[in-house]
Structures are given as structure tokens and as C-alpha cells.
């Protein structure tokens, strides 16, 4: 069994987080950005809400909802 082949240290050692997608195991902002960019498609929602068919006041509300900037009760209580 693979688990039985692991050698355990008798000395206490700190755990270390390792990012498997990098060559040195360290997660950097660039690596995280590249990962996000390749795994999550870019959504061009701005063109959907800022158009002639939608009144500007509704577009503004939709934009604020998308950015999670609507002053809801729970957000107002946080302040």
C-alpha cells in the first residue's frame, strides 16, 4: 500500500502548504491570476446591462448588484 511507504519523522516539523501547479510549490499572485483566467470564462455582462433597451437607472442597479454593492440591510448593519 502506498501509505505504508511514507516515512514519518520522529522530530516535530511544521506543516507546509504546497501549490501543485507551480514548479517550486509556492503560490504567487501571478499563478493565481493565470489559474483564474484559464479556468473561469470572462463574462462580458457590461454589454448586456448598458444598452438602449434598459433605462440607465435599471442598468445602474444591475451593475451594483453584479459588483455586490447594493446597500442591503445586512451590509448596512456591518457599518
- Domain residues for the domain of 42 are 18-78
What are the Cα distances from residue 55, in Å, to 4, 39, 45?
A: 66, 34, 16
> How many domains does the chain divide into?
1
Report yes or no: 22 and 28 within 8 Å, Cβ to Cβ: yes
The answer as to whether 24 is a domain residue is yes
Q: What pLDDT is recorded for position 10?
A: 85
Which cell is 48 given? 448586456
The answer as to whether 9 is a domain residue is no
The answer as to whether 27 is a domain residue is yes
Q: What pLDDT is recorded for position 53?
A: 92
The per-residue pLDDT string of the chain (79 residues; one tens digit each, 9 = 90 and over) reads: 788 888 888 888 888 888 888 889 999 999 888 888 877 767 677 888 888 999 999 999 998 888 888 888 877 777 6
Residue (of 3, 42, 35) closest to 21 by Cα position:
35
Distance (Å, whole) CA 67 – CA 49: 13
Angle among Cα 24, 25, 30 to the nearest 5 degrees reads: 85
The answer as to whether 51 is a domain residue is yes
Q: What pLDDT is recorded for position 71?
A: 82
Q: What pLDDT is recorded for position 54?
A: 92
Amino acid at each position: 500500500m502506498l501509505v505504508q511507504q511514507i516515512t514519518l519523522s520522529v522530530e516535530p516539523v511544521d506543516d507546509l502548504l504546497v501549490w501543485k501547479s507551480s514548479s517550486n510549490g509556492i503560490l504567487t499572485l501571478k499563478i493565481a491570476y493565470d489559474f483564474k483566467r484559464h479556468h473561469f470564462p470572462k463574462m462580458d455582462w457590461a454589454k448586456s446591462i448598458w444598452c438602449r433597451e434598459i433605462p440607465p437607472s435599471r442598468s445602474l442597479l444591475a451593475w451594483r448588484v453584479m459588483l455586490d454593492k447594493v446597500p442591503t440591510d445586512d451590509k448596512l448593519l456591518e457599518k
